[in-house]
């Protein structure tokens, strides 16, 4: 069984900032640009940190706002006010 987790977002301006933040915090992430969608895959776990997204956007951002641009997700979600973590619990 693969331990890859994945996250796909709509391809828009907001998502591009989120993708930049994910790339910074998860150097091993693979980003795949598809028509109207950006898919990110990572072995083990993938973290979306509020502080990094805010740094990239230059404004405040709530982790819940990720769901506005979300297309699909693969992995177990652990979410709080500061970050969203995808992983496969074993």
Q: How sure is the predictor about 20, in pLDDT bands with cuts at 50, 70 and 90? A: very high
Name the average pLDDT for the chain.
Answer: 95
Q: Is the pTM of this model over 0.85?
A: yes
The residues near 63 (Cβ < 8 Å, ≥ 6 apart) are: 48, 50, 79, 80, 81, 82, 83, 84
3-state secondary structure of 81: coil
Q: Are 42 and 26 in contact (CB under 8 A)?
A: yes
Span 51-90, pLDDT tens digits: 999 999 999 999 999 999 999 999 999 999 999 999 997 6
Separation of alpha carbons 45 and 86, rounded Å: 5
**Residue boundaries of the structural domains of the chain:** 4-87
Domain spanning 4-87: CATH 3.90.56.10: yes
């Amino acid at each position: 069984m693969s331990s890859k987790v994945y996250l796909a977002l709509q391809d828009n301006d907001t998502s591009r900032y989120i993708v930049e933040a994910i790339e910074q915090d998860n150097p091993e992430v693979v980003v795949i640009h598809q028509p109207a969608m950006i898919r990110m895959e990572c072995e083990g776990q993938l973290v979306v940190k509020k502080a990094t997204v805010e740094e990239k956007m230059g404004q405040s951002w709530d982790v819940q706002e990720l769901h506005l641009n979300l297309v699909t997700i693969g992995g177990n979600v652990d979410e709080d006010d500061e970050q969203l973590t995808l992983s496969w619990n074993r």
